[in-house]
């Protein structure tokens, strides 16, 4: 009887571990369109990878402000007044087929109606809870960009994503680990000991 119990426990534990491993693999496997649905299917892959447009071209506030800023319709129209996009079908990494020109026409529609595009935040800061950080946590983009950190350090390889998704769990542990690994002087480590640096 005891032998059967041990055998059952070994089998159950094996099944549990394999299931957990498959779940973790599925969660971390590079993919797909696993980010939130957006009002316009904006492909960072087309813009940042295929066309080599730098992050700061659209997220221009990162170098001058604590907040990165979501590009306004006016910023989009700065290019798309001239670039109509091809009238072609495009299949995203997740298998969704879109027409590039139709997506650009959605942007133009917001412009004509003088409405902001209601983007859904992906990384989550400043009051959002859907993607991570509580509202009392602040992250100063400007300070990190000025020190030479790449956007991909926290955001992953966005230039490879058709649909942006959260690449890292932006927890306090993630931030502290990065500071400990990258702090080139004691001042940056000391800064982490002051809670008000990030929590206000």
Which pLDDT score, from 0 to 100, does residue 74 have? 93
Q: Higher confidence at residue 181 or residue 29?
A: 181
Distance CA 139, CA 174 (A): 12
Which pLDDT score, from 0 to 100, does residue 81 have? 87
Sign of CA dihedral 61, 55, 91, 131: negative
Helix (H, G, I), strand (E, B) or coil at 89: strand
Answer for the pair 122, 165: CB distance below 8 angstroms, yes or no.
Answer: yes
Distance CA 134, CA 125 (A): 7
Read off the pLDDT of each residue in 119-129 and give the average, rounded to a whole number: 61
- The count of other CB atoms within 10 Å of the CB of residue 120 is 13
- The count of other CB atoms within 10 Å of the CB of residue 31 is 15
Q: Higher confidence at residue 96 or residue 106?
A: 106
DSSP secondary structure string, 39-70? SS---HIIIIIIS---HHHHSGGGGTSSS--P
Which pLDDT score, from 0 to 100, does residue 29 have? 40
Which pLDDT score, from 0 to 100, does residue 118 have? 93
Q: What is the pLDDT of residues 15-50, one digit of tens each?
A: 655 555 544 444 444 434 577 888 999 899 999 999
| Residue whose C-alpha is closest to residue 43's, from 88, 81, 80, 90 | 90
Q: What is the pLDDT of residues 3-16, one digit of tens each?
A: 677 676 677 666 65
In sequence order, the β-bridge partners of residue 103 are none
Read off the pLDDT of each residue in 179-186 and give the average, rounded to a whole number: 75
Q: Is the pTM of this model over 0.85?
A: no
Which pLDDT score, from 0 to 100, does residue 149 have? 87
Q: What is the average pLDDT value for the chain, to the nearest integer?
A: 78
User: At 120, phi and psi to the nearest 5?
Assistant: -95, 125
Q: What is the pLDDT of residues 44-90, one digit of tens each?
A: 999 999 999 998 899 888 888 877 778 899 999 999 988 888 888 88
Q: What is the pLDDT of residues 138-180, one digit of tens each?
A: 888 888 888 888 888 888 898 998 888 888 878 888 888 888 8
Residue keyed to tokens 């904006």: 42
């Amino acid at each position: 009887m005891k032998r059967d119990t041990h055998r059952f426990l070994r089998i159950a534990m094996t099944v549990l571990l394999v299931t957990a491993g498959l779940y973790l693999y599925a969660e971390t496997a590079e993919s797909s369109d696993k980010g939130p649905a957006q009002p316009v299917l904006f492909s960072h892959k087309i813009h940042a990878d295929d066309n080599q447009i730098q992050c700061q071209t659209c997220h221009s506030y990162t170098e001058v402000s604590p907040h990165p800023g979501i590009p306004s319709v006016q910023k989009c129209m700065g290019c798309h007044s001239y670039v109509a996009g091809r009238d072609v079908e495009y299949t995203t990494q997740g298998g969704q087929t879109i027409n590039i020109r139709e997506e650009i026409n959605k942007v133009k529609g917001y412009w004509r109606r003088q409405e902001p595009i209601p983007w859904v935040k992906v990384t989550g800061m400043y009051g959002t809870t859907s993607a991570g950080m509580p509202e009392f946590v602040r992250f100063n983009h400007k300070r990190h960009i000025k020190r030479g950190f790449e956007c991909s350090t926290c955001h992953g390889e966005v230039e490879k994503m058709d649909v942006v998704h959260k690449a890292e769990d932006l927890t306090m542990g993630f931030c502290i680990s990065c500071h400990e690994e990258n702090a080139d002087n004691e001042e940056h480590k000391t800064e982490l000991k002051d809670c008000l640096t990030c929590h206000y």
